[in-house]
Amino acid sequence: MIFGMLIGNQNGQYGLFIQKLRFHIVTCTPVQNASSRAELHRKSIAQMKINARSVQDMHIYANPSRVPVVLIEQHVMVVPQHGCNKYLLANAPDLYNTSVPPNLQGDSFAGNPSGGKNTGHVLRAVIFVHGFQGHHLDLCLIRNQWLLRDPGAECLLSETNEDRTYGDFKEMGRRLANEVVSFLKNKLDKYSRHGGCRELRLSFVGHSIGNVIIRSALSEPKLQPFLKNLHTYMSISGPHLGYWYSSNSLFNSGLWLMKRLKGLQCMHQLTFTDEQDPQNTFFYKLCKLKTLENFKNIILVSSPQDGYVPYHSARIDLCPASSSDSSKKGQVFTEMLNNCLDQIRAPTSETRVFMRCDVNFDQSTQRRDLNSFVGRAAHVEFLENDMYARFIMWSFPELFL
């Protein structure tokens, strides 16, 4: 249904996966590699001969050379709880349906209002969190696609941090946790009046620093009873490793000015200047917290064209600059990366799907303005163009139910 998109599946042992990435670092930077693969695909589309006499409605399907190119790395992992061996099961889509969602227990709002009986509804709650200076409707296109995929989902477009994304991520996370708990309580109370709720699947979708707010919220005590119910996490251009090793000098200068002139706490945290010792910074501590390992599905969406969020940070991936950095900064970054990856590889009795999705937007028709010059165009395109999300959601529907 969607043309011009490329899937690049990589399956195999996790160790081999890391070795492949290191090979690309030596020969070509990850950003260049992703961009060149997408450009090669676009050139192959341009070389196709289209019959001029045929009728083609480009309004419905779009011009194949103009839609986003999506490169996907997919891994279905099973890490047994009783041992340390790690397995990646290749080409096993049937395993997606073998995971057993946790049953809700108890009589509290985090439990089963029907008293533990195998009756009632399944509450599939999805929380959408906007980014810096964002609006709660920023992710409405992604929300709409999710509802088309799962019309029974209960969606919350978070508003609690609207106009309040300048301060401490801990405070933003605390506000989000309170908002999510209130939302779930209302929905569970509603379900209790209509047959009860036997299962809860809690999913999160974040854009930009909204992903940092989500992970901060998951560390809050109020959300601890719901960690066993986490289902899918979709991160859209989230700076999971902060802004270290950002190659965008213009954006870095803007960050420096904002810190000096406005003293924004979140900017200090993103750039690791909130503490003198990097091991005492917010991001270092956040990466040590178990905010990812309870999700059944983890989807990291990034773009090599995005100049606002470092490519490696959005992908939770190796960084060429950090690999050659022998200072304490390089050591701390490596520890943060390993802490995040260890959560993704954490022992589980179920399957865990981990995907990295690189999106390459067509920018040939975009204006050459300040946004494209500083790298903001692709960062905003994630909110204005939902075709990449449509492709991911309808290609892997079991992750969004």
H or E segment to which residue 258 belongs:
helix 249-262
Residue range 53-58: mean pLDDT, rounded: 55
Single-letter residue type at 375: G
| H-type alpha helices, 14-56 | 14-27, 30-46
Q: Is the pLDDT of residue 35 over 60?
A: yes
Q: What is the mean pLDDT of residues 245-253?
A: 78
Nearest to 240 by CA among 157, 158, 311: 311
What would the CATH number be for the domain defined by 72-400?
3.40.50
132: tokens are 């810096």
**pLDDT value at residue 21:** 37
As given in the structure block, the two tokens for residue 356 are 């990295």
> Which residues fall within 8 angstroms of residue 84, CB to CB, at 6 or more apart?
none
**Residue 396 — φ and ψ, nearest 5°?**
-130, 65
* pLDDT at res. 206: 98
The listed range with the strongest mean pLDDT (22-31, 213-222, 270-279, 390-399) is 213-222
- The answer to whether the beta carbons of residues 167 and 207 sit under 8 Å apart is no
Under DSSP, is residue 44 helix (H, G, I), strand (E, B) or coil? helix
Residue type, 393: M
DSSP character for 52? Answer: T
> Largest Cα–Cα distance in the chain?
67
Give this prediction's pTM.
0.80
State pLDDT tens for residues 62-109. Answer: 667 778 888 898 888 776 654 434 343 333 333 333 232 333 443 344
| 3-state DSSP percent of the chain in helix, strand and coil, to 5 | 45, 15, 40
Domain ranges across the chain: 72-400
Indicate whether 13 pLDDT > 50: no
Give the chain's mean pLDDT: 80
Please say whether the beta carbons of 387 and 68 come within 8 A: yes
